[in-house]
Amino acid sequence: MGSTPPQPSGAPLDRLARLAGEGAGLLFVVIVAITAWEVVMRRLLGAPTIWVHELSTALAAVAFVAGGPAVHAARRHIVIGYFLERLPGEWQRLLGVVNGLLAIAFLALLTWAAAGQALVSIRDLETSGTALNWPVPVALKTLFALASALMLLQSLGHLLRDLEPPRP
* CA–centroid distance for 152 within its chain: 11
Residue numbers of the chain with a pLDDT score lower than 50: 1-2
pLDDT 10s digits, 82-105: 788 888 888 888 888 998 999 999
Q: What is the DSSP code string of 1-38?
A: ---PPPPPP--HHHHHHHHHHHHHHTHHHHHHHHHHHH
Rounded Cα distance, 141 and 82, in Å? 36
pLDDT, residue 2, reads 46
**CA 34 to each of CA 28, 30, 37, 98: distance values in angstroms, whole numbers, following the listed order:** 10, 6, 5, 44
Question: ∠ CA(36), CA(42), CA(47), 5° rounding?
Answer: 125
Rounded Cα distance, 78 and 68, in Å? 12
pLDDT, residue 87, reads 87
Write down the mean pLDDT value for the chain. Answer: 88
Which ranges of 26-133 would DSSP assign to H, the alpha helix?
A: 27-39, 52-73, 81-84, 89-124
Please classify residue 121 by burial: count the beta carbons closer than 10 Å to its beta carbon, then call 0-12 exposed, 13-18 middle and 19+ buried. buried
pLDDT, residue 122, reads 97
What is the pTM assigned to this prediction?
0.83
pLDDT, residue 1, reads 45
Rounded Cα distance, 133 and 168, in Å? 59
